Structures are given as C-alpha cells and as structure tokens.
C-alpha cells in the first residue's frame, strides 16, 4: 500500500528520498541475509559490504538500464542534489552520487507502494554483482 502518491513523492527533496532509501536498502539486505546459511555474528559484516556507497553505486550501474522515466528522474535529481557534507573516504565522489541516486530510487519506490519493484531491482543488482565476482 502506498504511503503517498507518485506526485507527492516527487515533491520531496531527493535527499529526503535517499534518507528513506537508506533504510530500505538496509532492510532488503538484512532480509536477504536472514535466508543465507550465515552466522548471526557475521551478518553485520556481510551487510556493510552491501550497504555502502561503492556497492550501491555498482547496484545502480547494474540496473539503470531497466529504469522507467520516473525512476531515472529520481536518480538524476538525487545525483544532482547538494549533499551538504563531504564524501566519505571509502568512495569516490561519483560513487557517492550514484549511491545517493540508488538510495533515493529505493526510497521513492517504497513510499509509492512499489516494494516489489524495489525488491526486483535489488535482487537483480545482487545477481549482477555475483556474476562479476
């Protein structure tokens, strides 16, 4: 069930969408890890390898050709948003901007009731990541 219309979600700032999307990415990752044969004490380590700027930038790269016009617009807006803080040392500026775009996309999909679409894009990015490993 959508929490807001697409129009209302588009009125949010890209950084608000990314703020929500950060949690969505974390939730999808933790849910995915629950179904792996992995010790609970190792789950956090695995999660941090997936929910970070470099990995999220790679995730966006692997699915951006699948995005519709609205989704691509959300990503573009987020990449162009003024971040207001420095880029972490673990990622390049481009990676951080792409990661912000990916998080905003996930936030937009969640808020507009499109969690199946968010899950699909997330899972496709994991498949692509595994095939490149």
Q: What domains can be seen in the chain, in order of their start residue?
A: 6-132 (1.10.1520.10)
Q: What is the pLDDT of residues 10-39, one digit of tens each?
A: 999 999 999 999 999 999 999 999 999 999
Q: What are the angstrom distances between the C-alpha of 127 and each of 10, 29, 47, 50, 109? A: 29, 13, 16, 13, 20
Give the burial string for 10-41 (b: 16+ CB within 10 Å, else e): bebebbbbbebbbebbebbbeebbeeeeeeee
Which pLDDT does position 105 carry in this prediction?
Answer: 98
The residue from 22, 26, 42, 68 that is catalytic is 22
What is the average pLDDT value for the chain, to the nearest integer?
90
Q: What is the pLDDT of residues 83-108, one digit of tens each?
A: 666 666 777 888 989 999 999 999 99
Distance CA 95, CA 58 (A): 8
Q: What are the angstrom distances between the C-alpha of 25 and each of 7, 53, 100, 102, 108? A: 22, 11, 11, 9, 12
Active site residue 42: no
């Amino acid at each position: 069930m959508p929490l807001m219309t697409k129009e209302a979600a588009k009125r949010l700032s890209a950084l608000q969408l990314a703020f929500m999307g950060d949690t969505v990415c974390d939730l999808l990752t933790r849910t995915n890890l629950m179904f792996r044969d992995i010790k609970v004490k190792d789950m956090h380590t695995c999660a941090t390898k997936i929910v970070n700027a470099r990995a999220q930038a790679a995730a966006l790269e692997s699915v951006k050709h699948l995005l519709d016009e609205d989704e691509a617009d959300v990503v573009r807006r987020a990449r162009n948003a003024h971040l207001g803080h420095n880029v972490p040392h673990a990622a390049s500026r481009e990676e951080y901007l792409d990661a912000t775009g990916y998080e905003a996309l996930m936030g937009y999909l969640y808020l507009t009731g499109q969690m199946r679409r968010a899950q699909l894009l997330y899972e496709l990015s994991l498949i692509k990541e595994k095939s490149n490993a």
